[in-house]
Chains A and B, each alone.
Chain A
Amino acid sequence: MAAAVDINLEPTYADIDRSARAILAPPGYKYWIWIGFLLTLTLTAGGLWTNQIYNGLQVTGMGNPVMWAVYITNFVFWVGIAHSGTLISAILYLFRTRWRTGVYRVAETMTVFAVATAGLFPIIHLGRPWFFYWLVPYPNERFLQPDFRSPLVWDFFAISTYLTISTLFLFTGLVPDVANAREAATGWRKTFYSIVALGWQGSDRQWRNFSMAYLLMAGLATPLVLSVHSVVSWDFAMAQLPGWHSTIFAPYFVAGAIFSGVAMVLTLLIPMRWIMGLEDLVTPWHLDNCAKVILLTSLIISYAYIVESFMTWYSKDPIEMMTFHMRYFGPWGWMYWVMVACNCVIPLCLFSPRIRVSPVLLFMISISVNIGMWFERFVIIAGSLAVNFEPSTWRFWHPSVTEVMITIGSFSWFLMLFSLFARYLPIVSMTELKEGISWLKQALRQGYDEAA
Chain B
Amino acid sequence: MSPEVELVGAFTNEESLLGCVERLRQARARFRVYSPIPMPHVNAAIYQRPSFVRWWVLLGGITGAVSAFVLTIGTSLEWNLVAGGKPIASLPPYIIIAFEMMVLFGGISAVLGWILLSNLPTFEPLSGYRSRFTADEFGVVVRCAEDETPRLESMLREAGAQDISREAA
B68 nearest CB neighbor, chain A only: A157
Within the complex, which residue of B79, B96, B107, B125 is in contact with A154, where a contact is CB–CB below 8 Å?
Answer: B96
Which residues of B124-169 have CB atoms within 8 Å of chain A's CB atoms? 124-126, 129, 131-137
In the complex, A25 Cα to B97 Cα: how many Å? 44
Interface presence of A335 (CB below 8 A)? no
CB of B107 within 8 A of CB of A217, answer yes
A201 lies within 8 A of B36 (CB): no
The answer to whether residues A204 and B32 also contact, given A144-B79, A154-B93 and a CB cut-off of 8 A, is yes
Q: Are A213 and B133 CB-contacts (below 8 A) given A149-B93, A154-B96?
A: no
Q: How far is the CA of A161 from the CA of B108 in the complex (A)?
A: 10
B121–A199 touching, CB < 8 Å: yes
Determine if B107 and A145 form an interchain contact, defined as CB atoms under 8 angstroms apart. no
- List the A residue with the shortest CB-CB distance to B131: A183
Nearest Cβ on chain B to A29's Cβ, whole angstroms: 30
User: B42 on the interface (CB 8 Å rule)?
Assistant: yes
Q: Is the CB of B38 within 8 A of A146?
A: no
In contact, B50 and A212 (Cβ under 8 angstroms): yes
Decide if A316 is an interface residue (CB 8 Å cutoff).
Answer: no
Contacting pair B76 A145 (CB below 8 A)? yes
Tell me the complex Cα distance, A435–B38, Å. 8
Quick one: closest A residue to B92, CB to CB?
A149
B129 touches A201 (CB 8 A): yes
Interface string of A404-434 (1 = CB under 8 A from B): 0000000000000000000000000011001
- Main SS at interface, chain A: helix
> Cβ of A212 and Cβ of B107 under 8 Å apart?
no
User: Of A9-17, A55-63, A104-112, which binds chain B?
Assistant: A9-17
Q: Decide yes or no whether B101 CB sits under 8 A from chain A.
A: yes
Whether the pair A198, B136 counts as a contact (CB closer than 8 A) is no
Max chain A C-beta neighbours (<10 A), residue from B32, B107, B122, B126: B107
* In the complex with contacts A201-B126, A204-B42, A171-B111 CB distance below 8 A: yes
B134 near A180: Cβ-Cβ < 8 Å? yes
Per-position binary interface string of chain A over residues 187-199, scored 1 when its CB falls under 8 Å from any chain B CB and 0 otherwise: 0000000100011
In contact, B103 and A176 (Cβ under 8 angstroms): no
Say if the beta carbon of A143 comes within 8 Å of chain B: yes
Known: A157-B97, A200-B120. A176 touches B114 (CB 8 A): no
Is A158 in contact with chain B by the CB < 8 A criterion? yes
Give bound CA distance, A42 to B37, whole Å: 39
Is residue A124 contacting chain B, with contact meaning CB distance below 8 A? no
Once bound together, how far apart are the Cα atoms of A333 and B51, in whole Å? 57
Encode contact with B along A215-244: 1 for CB under 8 Å, 0 otherwise.
011001101100100010000000000000
Which of A162-170, A305-313, A373-381, A439-447 lies at the interface with chain B?
A: A162-170
Cβ of A209 and Cβ of B97 under 8 Å apart? no
Q: Mark B73-103, 1 if CB is under 8 A from A, else 0.
A: 0011011010110100010011011011101
State the Cβ distance, A110 to closest chain B Cβ, in Å: 19
Interface residue B33 (Cβ < 8 Å from any Cβ of A)? yes
A220 and B93 in contact (CB under 8 A), knowing A14-B135, A180-B36?
Answer: no
Kindly state the separation between the CA atoms of A152 and B121 in the bound complex, as whole angstroms: 38
The answer, among B40, B107, B121, B135, for a CB contact under 8 Å with A165, is B107
Q: How far is the CB of B77 from chain A (nearest CB, A)?
A: 10
CB proximity of B113 to chain A, nearest CB, Å: 6
Q: Are B104 and A216 in contact, CB atoms less than 8 angstroms apart? A: no
Closest-CB distance, B70 to chain A (whole angstroms): 11
Query: Within the assembled complex, what's the spacing in Å between the Cα atoms of A172 and B94?
Result: 30
Q: Which residues of A contact B132 (CB under 8 A)?
A: 183
Q: Is A36 an interface residue (CB 8 A)?
A: no
Q: A137-B71, A200-B134 are in contact. Are A143 and B78 (CB under 8 A)?
A: yes
Does A204 contact B136, Cβ atoms closer than 8 Å? no
Q: Which of B37, B50, B124, B131 has the most CB of A within 10 A?
A: B37
User: Does B10 sit within 8 A of A, measured CB to CB?
Assistant: no
Docked Cα-Cα span, A147 to B72, in Å, equals 9
Q: How far is the CA of A382 from the CA of B101 in the complex (A)?
A: 31
A247 contacts chain B at the CB level, 8 A cutoff: no
Interface pairs A-B: 4 shortest CB-CB: A13-B136, A145-B75, A213-B114, A212-B51
Q: Which residues of A contact B (CB under 8 A)?
A: 12-14, 17, 137, 143-149, 153-154, 157-158, 160-161, 164-165, 168-169, 171-172, 176, 179-180, 182-184, 194, 198-214, 216-217, 220-221, 223-224, 227, 231, 430-431, 434-435
Known contacts A205-B32, A207-B43; can you find 19 more A-B pairs with CB under 8 A? A17-B136, A148-B93, A161-B100, A161-B104, A168-B110, A183-B132, A198-B120, A199-B120, A203-B118, A203-B129, A204-B35, A208-B51, A209-B52, A209-B114, A212-B50, A212-B51, A213-B57, A214-B114, A431-B36
Can you list 5 A-B pairs with a CB-CB distance of less than 8 A? A148-B76, A168-B111, A200-B134, A202-B35, A435-B37
